[in-house]
Amino acid sequence: MKSYSRIVRALCVSGALSAGLVFGGAAHAGELLVSGAASLTNAFKEVGEAFEKKHSDTKVLNSFAASDVLLQQIVNGAPADVFASADQKAMDKAGEADVIVPDSRADFVRNQVVLIVPNDNPKNVEGLASLANADVTRIAFGNPETVPVGRYTKGALEKAGAWEAVTERQVLGQNVRQVLDYVSRGEVDAGFVFATDAAIMKDKVKVVETLETVTPVTYPIAVVKRDGANPQAQEYVDFILSDEGQEILAKYGFSKP
């Protein structure tokens, strides 16, 4: 079996390309580079625009992918000023690798994991119990080795006694948005995503159950420690934690931690 680090390296480029921008080369003056979990894509785009209005000399550039993929990029020297992860494990590893400013770390939003199906729900999946039905053959979720929503999903399913039934039908996604796409296109019978991701495709998917996760789904954010870092990185983190930043995040379904 591939080790954790080998799996992450193998997915690093492909995962980032499928989910968003990969920063290339050195950062230019006035650019604030934000590496954010894929589930933050829509919310962070608006956050960046709001931050730019307050800092006319700054351009926020976002890179979105699975948290572990972003972490590996940062560890390997990719330029980033802020790292926002969808779970504590990825941020813990960033701390262990000494690539973040410890005092800047803060939890900024909370989320939930939900079971979704295509809107027409052809297999009549009504909840976790339905996933063991013989006609349910493809269930998508993030790879637990590299994707936070996959780790949350695995823990919740093990707790509910449904992990074995799901893994027999698994379709692994490189990030939560890929799982969402699989379900929205009807390529799988069901999938596990964050509630905020399901909310952006209400016309194509519907939630049939909210999972009870082993640990709360909290997102940490921190300033990246690197030479040439944008000095406004901490101001961006502070903006995320401010009332205005929290209001923007709430528009996309995120709650306060």
Distance (Å, whole) CA 124 – CA 131 = 10
User: 4: part of which helix (H) or strand (E)?
Assistant: helix 4-19
| Biggest CA-to-CA distance, the chain | 58
DSSP for 213-248, please give it. -SS-EEEEEEEB--TT--TTHHHHHHHHHSHHHHHH
pTM of the model: 0.88
Digit-by-digit pLDDT tens for the chain (257 residues) are 344 444 444 444 444 433 344 444 445 668 999 999 999 999 999 999 999 999 999 999 999 999 999 999 999 999 999 999 999 999 999 999 999 999 999 999 999 999 999 999 999 999 999 999 999 999 999 999 999 999 999 999 999 999 999 999 999 999 999 999 999 999 999 999 999 999 999 999 999 999 999 999 999 999 999 999 999 999 999 999 999 999 999 999 999 99
Q: What pLDDT is stored for residue 166 in this prediction? A: 97
Q: What pLDDT is stored for residue 49 in this prediction? A: 98
Virtual CA dihedral for 164, 156, 90, 103, nearest 10 degrees?
Answer: -160
Instruction: Give percent helix, percent strand, percent coil of the chain, each to the nearest 5.
Output: 40, 25, 35
Q: What pLDDT is stored for residue 142 in this prediction? A: 98
Q: What pLDDT is stored for residue 5 in this prediction? A: 43
